[in-house]
C-alpha cells in the first residue's frame, strides 16, 4: 500500500507482513517520466519517506520487488 500524508509531507509504504524481509526499489518520477528520487528499501514492512522537497503536482511512485506496483500521487 502507498499513501501520501499532505500534513506531514510524507509518503507511506506498507508492504505487509508477508513481504517483511524483501528488498524494494522505490522510484518517484514526475508526470513526464523524469526520475526524481530513487531509493532502495530493505527489510522493512512499513516505511515513511519525506517528500517535502518535491514540487507540487502529480507524481508516479513505483515499488519494484517480487512484483511492481505503481501509484499516482498528488503533492499539494
**CATH number for the domain that contains residue 52:** 2.60.40.3080
Q: Over 90: is that where the pLDDT of 72 sits?
A: yes
Domain that holds residue 60: 2-75
Prediction pTM value: 0.79
Read off the pLDDT of residues 3-34 as tens digits, 9 standing for 90 and up: 788 778 888 887 666 666 778 899 999 999 99
Query: Dihedral, CA atoms, 66, 16, 46, 7, nearest 10 degrees?
Result: 110
Q: Which three cell numbers mark 18?
A: 508477508
Give the integer Cα–Cα distance in Å for 50 and 16: 20
Read off the pLDDT of residues 20-71 as tens digits, 9 standing for 90 and up: 677 889 999 999 999 999 989 876 667 888 888 888 999 999 988 888 889 9
Q: Which three cell numbers mark 25?
A: 526499489
Query: DSSP letter at 18?
Result: G
Please state the domain count of the chain: 1
Say what the pLDDT of residue 28 is.
94
Burial class (CB in 10 A: 0-12, 13-18, 19+), 44: middle
Amino acid at each position: 500500500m502507498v499513501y501520501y500524508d499532505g500534513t506531514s509531507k510524507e509518503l507511506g509504504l506498507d508492504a505487509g507482513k508477508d513481504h517483511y524481509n524483501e528488498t524494494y526499489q522505490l522510484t518517484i518520477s514526475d508526470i513526464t517520466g523524469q526520475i526524481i528520487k530513487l531509493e532502495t528499501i530493505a527489510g522493512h514492512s512499513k516505511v515513511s519517506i519525506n517528500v517535502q522537497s518535491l514540487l507540487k503536482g502529480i507524481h508516479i511512485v513505483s515499488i519494484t520487488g517480487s512484483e511492481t506496483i505503481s501509484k499516482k500521487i498528488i503533492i499539494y
